[in-house]
C-alpha cells in the first residue's frame, strides 16, 4: 500500500528545481499512506513528474523502491496496491520466454515486465488485485492511469491552470493535488448536492471543479501533445452482473456452497501474502467471521484478530467477536473505547478524509484500524459481503414494501402522504401518548411523528427505483439546500435504467456495488486505515469471487428469509451457527444523541445561520429547521445534519490550511 502523485505539463521546467520541489511537497502530503520510503522521478524534456510514498509490504528491500523503471527502459511506474497473483504472472512470462532478469520479488516489477510483454490493458485484465497506478510510456510519450475493477484504491486527476501553465495533476489523495501551485481550489456545488444525498460523492465527481475520480475498472491515457484524456473500460460491473444472470450457477445448493468456499478460500489465501505482520478485523458477524475462519484454516499460527468494543450495549459486538475468536483459536485483541475517546476522533476527520465524507461509521473504522496498526501492518476485512450476497435488510424490505405499494394507485398514495404530513410530528406524538395506555406494548412506538413523516416520503414513490433512492437518501432534494447546486449524472435512476433483465433485488445489489461500495464503504476503510499507515485487503472483492457471486441464483443468497444463505453455510462449516445467529447490527455510533449532548455546541457553531449565509454554500433555513426539530426530539435528523456538519468541518479545515499557507508565503 502506498501513495502516488505527479503531474504532466505545466510551467517551471527550465527553472532549476522548482518542479522537483513541487513534486516533493505533493508526496509529503501522502506520508501516512507511505511512511517507509519516498521517491521522485522527473523528465524535463517530456515535462512529466512521478512521485511515490511507500508502505513496504512485499519485497522490503531497495529493489521495491519507486518510481520504478522497466527492464526495457520504456516504462516508468508509480504503483499503489497489491497484485495477489503476481507470482503466477511471473510464471507465465517465464513460460513465454518474456521474463527479464529479475531485480527483486515485488509485484511492481512484475507489472512492468508484463507491460513490456503484453501492454497495459492485457496486463490489468490478467492481474488479480487492488491497485491504482500511473505509468509513463516513453515510446509513445503518454501517461496511463489505471484503477482496479471494484475501486479499492483511490485515484484523482484533472487539468488545472490556463494557457502555458496548464497542468495535468493526479494523485491518491486530494491533499497531494492541493500542494501544486496551479491547483485552483474551486468547490463543485453540484458534487456537494451528491454529498448531501448520499453522504459521499460518487465517481467520477469530486468536491473540486476540474478534478475527477477515475471510476473503477477504467484506464485513462493522456498525451501532452494533444492533452486529450482517453478513457477505456477494461472491466464492467454491470456487464459482469449481466453475464452472471445469463449464465447462472446450475448446481445444487450444496454444490454452490462447495464452489463458494473454494473460490473464497483461494482469494483469502492469495491475500495473506505479505513480508510484514498480518491480521484481520473481526466483528463477530457473518462476513468478517468467514474471512477469519478461512484465514485460520490456511495458517499454521493463530491469526491476529482485532475488534473494538463500546460500553453502550446497543452498539457493542465485541463479545460476539471474542466468542468467534475463541472458537477459531485466533490471537485476539479487543479494546473498549469510551464515548469521549470516540468523539475525540471527530477533529481528525477533515485530515483523514481530504474530501468531505459523512458516513459516521468512519469513526469506529478509524479506531479499529488504529488498534490493529499497533500490532500488524496489513489487515483483511469482511467488507462487501452484504453487497454480493444480499445481506442488507433493505433489499428484502424494499422488495416487500414495493410489492404492497404498487397495489395501490399512486394518486391514492400521494393523497395519504399529504394527509400524514399535514399533521406536525409533535401532534402525532401527543396523540400516540394519549393512546398508549390502550395499546399493547408491541404497538407502542417512540417518536411516532418522525416515523410517520418519513413513511410519507415512501408512499410518494412512483417506482421501486424511486423507493430505493428515497430510502438511501439523507436529503431527498439536495438542490433545495445547496445554493446554485444541481445534481450531476449519472444518477442512481439512470444507472438502474441500464439494468435490463435484472430483478428488483439484483438491481439494488448492483447499484450498491457501483455506488455505495466503492464510494462509501471502500473510501471509509481506505482513508481510515491509511490514516494510521495500515494496509487493508478485502477478499470478497477478488474479482473471481465477485463474478461467482453474481452467478449465484437469488435463492442461494436469500433463502427462506435468511440473508447471505450460501455464505452462512460456508461459515457454519467452521463456526457454530449459535455464535453467529443474531439480529444484524451496523458499525454505528450514537451521533443523534451526541448532537443533543456533548457535540451540541460544536455543531451549533458550524450550523450558525449567519455563518452559513456568509459562506454561501447552503440555504440556512431548511438546515436550521432540521436542527431545531432534532434538538426538540420531534425528529431524528442525525444523518442529514451529519452530512452538512462534515462539509462544514472540512471547509473550516481547508480555510485554516489556506490561511497558514498564505502566512507562510508572505514576505
Query: For the packed helices 253-271 and 565-572, what is the interaxial angle rounded to 10 degrees?
Result: 70
pLDDT < 70: residue spans in the chain: 1, 15-16, 426, 428, 433, 436, 439-455, 584-587, 662-667
Could you give all domains of the chain from N- to C-terminal order, each with its CATH number? 2-235 (3.60.20.10), 237-586 (3.40.50.620), 591-665 (no CATH)
Q: Cis bond leading into 133, ω under 30°?
A: no
pLDDT of 663 reads 63
Among 85, 111, 54, residue whose Cα is nearest residue 535: 54
400 class by beta-carbon count within 10 Å (0-12 exposed, 13-18 middle, 19+ buried): exposed
Among 33, 112, 28, 44, residue whose Cα is nearest residue 78: 112
Beta bridge partners of 134: 78, 145
Which of the residues are catalytic?
A: 2
Beta bridge partners of 231: 220
Tell me the pTM: 0.93
pLDDT of 524 reads 97
pLDDT of 437 reads 75
Helix and strand numbers (H, E) in the chain are 29, 17
Q: Other C-beta atoms within 10 Å of 162: how many?
A: 10
Q: How far apart are CA 143 and CA 224, in angstroms?
A: 9
Q: How far apart are CA 110 and CA 242, in angstroms?
A: 32
Q: How far is CA 398 from CA 120, 406, 470, in A?
A: 42, 12, 11
Q: How far apart are CA 400 and CA 404, in angstroms?
A: 7
pLDDT of 445 reads 59
Amino acid at each position: 500500500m502506498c501513495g502516488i502523485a505527479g503531474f504532466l505539463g505545466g510551467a517551471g521546467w527550465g527553472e532549476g528545481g522548482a518542479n522537483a520541489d513541487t513534486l516533493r511537497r505533493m508526496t509529503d502530503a501522502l506520508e501516512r499512506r507511505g511512511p517507509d520510503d519516498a521517491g521522485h522521478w522527473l523528465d524535463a524534456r517530456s515535462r512529466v513528474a512521478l512521485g511515490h510514498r511507500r508502505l513496504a509490504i512485499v519485497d522490503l528491500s531497495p529493489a521495491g523502491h519507486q518510481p520504478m523503471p522497466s527492464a526495457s527502459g520504456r516504462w516508468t511506474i508509480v504503483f499503489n496496491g497489491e497484485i495477489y497473483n503476481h507470482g503466477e504472472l511471473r510464471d507465465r512470462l517465464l513460460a513465454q520466454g518474456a521474463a527479464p532478469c529479475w531485480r527483486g520479488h515485488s509485484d511492481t516489477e512484475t507489472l512492468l515486465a508484463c507491460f513490456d510483454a503484453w501492454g497495459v490493458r492485457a496486463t490489468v485484465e490478467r492481474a488479480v488485485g487492488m491497485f491504482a497506478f500511473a505509468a509513463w510510456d516513453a515510446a509513445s510519450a503518454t501517461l496511463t492511469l489505471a484503477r482496479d475493477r471494484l475501486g479499492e484504491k483511490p485515484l484523482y486527476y484533472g487539468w488545472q491552470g490556463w494557457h502555458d501553465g496548464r497542468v495535468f495533476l493526479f494523485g491518491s489523495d486530494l491533499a497531494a493535488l492541493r500542494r501544486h501551485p496551479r491547483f485552483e481550489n474551486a468547490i463543485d456545488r453540484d458534487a456537494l448536492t451528491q454529498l448531501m444525498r448520499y453522504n459521499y460523492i460518487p465517481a467520477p465527481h469530486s468536491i473540486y471543479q476540474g478534478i475527477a475520480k477515475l471510476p473503477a475498472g477504467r484506464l485513462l491515457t493522456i498525451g501532452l501533445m494533444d492533452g486529450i484524456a482517453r478513457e477505456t473500460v477494461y472491466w464492467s460491473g454491470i456487464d459482469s452482473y449481466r453475464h452472471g444472470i445469463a449464465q447462472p450457477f446450475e448446481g445444487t445448493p450444496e454444490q454452490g456452497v462447495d464452489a463458494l468456499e473454494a473460490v473464497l478460500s483461494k482469494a483469502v489465501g492469495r491475500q495473506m501474502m505479505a513480508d510484514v505482520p498480518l491480521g484481520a478485523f473481526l466483528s463477530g458477524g457473518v462476513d468478517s467471521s468467514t474471512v477469519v475462519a478461512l484465514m485460520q484454516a490456511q495458517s499454521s499460527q493463530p491469526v491476529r484478530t482485532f475488534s473494538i468494543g463500546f460500553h453502550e450495549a446497543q452498539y457493542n459486538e465485541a463479545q460476539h467477536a471474542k466468542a468467534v475468536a475463541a472458537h477459531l483459536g485466533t490471537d485476539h485483541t479487543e479494546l473498549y473505547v469510551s464515548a469521549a475517546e470516540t468523539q475525540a476522533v471527530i477533529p481528525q476527520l477533515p485530515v483523514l478524509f481530504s474530501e468531505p465524507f459523512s458516513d459516521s461509521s468512519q469513526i469506529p473504522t478509524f479506531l479499529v484500524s488504529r488498534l490493529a496498526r499497533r500490532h500488524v501492518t496489513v489487515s483483511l476485512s469482511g467488507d462487501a459481503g452484504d453487497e454480493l450476497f444480499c445481506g442488507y435488510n433493505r433489499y428484502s424490505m424494499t422488495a416487500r414494501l414495493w410489492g404492497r405499494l404498487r397495489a395501490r394507485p399512486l394518486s391514492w398514495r400521494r393523497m395519504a402522504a399529504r394527509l400524514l404530513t399535514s399533521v406536525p410530528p409533535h401532534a402525532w406524538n401527543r396523540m400516540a401518548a394519549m393512546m398508549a395506555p390502550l395499546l399493547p406494548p408491541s404497538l407502542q412506538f417512540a417518536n411516532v411523528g418522525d416515523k410517520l413523516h418519513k413513511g410519507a416520503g415512501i408512499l410518494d414513490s412512483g417506482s421501486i427505483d424511486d423507493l430505493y433512492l428515497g430510502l438511501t437518501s439523507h436529503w431527498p432534494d439536495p438542490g433545495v439546500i445547496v445554493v446554485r447546486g444541481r445534481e450531476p449524472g449519472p444518477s442512481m435512476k439512470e444507472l438502474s435504467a441500464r439494468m435490463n433483465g435484472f430483478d428488483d433485488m439484483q438491481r439494488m445489489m448492483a447499484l450498491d456495488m457501483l455506488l455505495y461500495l466503492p464510494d462509501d464503504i471502500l473510501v471509509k476503510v481506505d482513508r481510515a486505515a491509511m490514516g494510521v499507515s495500515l494496509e487493508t485487503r478485502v477478499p470478497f472483492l477478488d474479482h473471481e469471487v465477485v463474478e461467482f457471486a453474481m452467478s449465484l441464483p437469488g435463492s442461494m443468497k436469500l433463502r427462506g428469509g435468511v440473508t447471505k444463505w450460501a455464505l452462512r453455510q460456508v461459515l457454519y462449516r467452521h463456526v457454530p451457527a449459535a455464535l453467529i445467529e443474531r439480529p444484524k447490527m451496523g458499525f454505528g455510533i450514537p451521533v443523534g444523541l451526541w448532537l443533543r449532548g456533548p457535540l451540541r455546541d460544536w455543531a451549533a457553531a458550524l450550523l450558525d445561520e449567519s455563518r452559513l449565509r456568509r459562506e454561501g454554500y447552503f440555504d440556512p433555513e431548511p438546515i436550521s429547521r432540521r436542527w431545531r426539530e432534532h434538538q426538540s426530539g420531534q425528529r431524528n435528523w442525525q444523518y442529514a445534519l451529519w452530512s452538512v456538519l462534515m462539509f462544514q468541518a472540512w471547509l473550516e479545515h481547508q480555510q485554516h490550511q489556506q490561511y497558514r499557507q498564505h502566512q507562510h508565503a508572505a514576505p
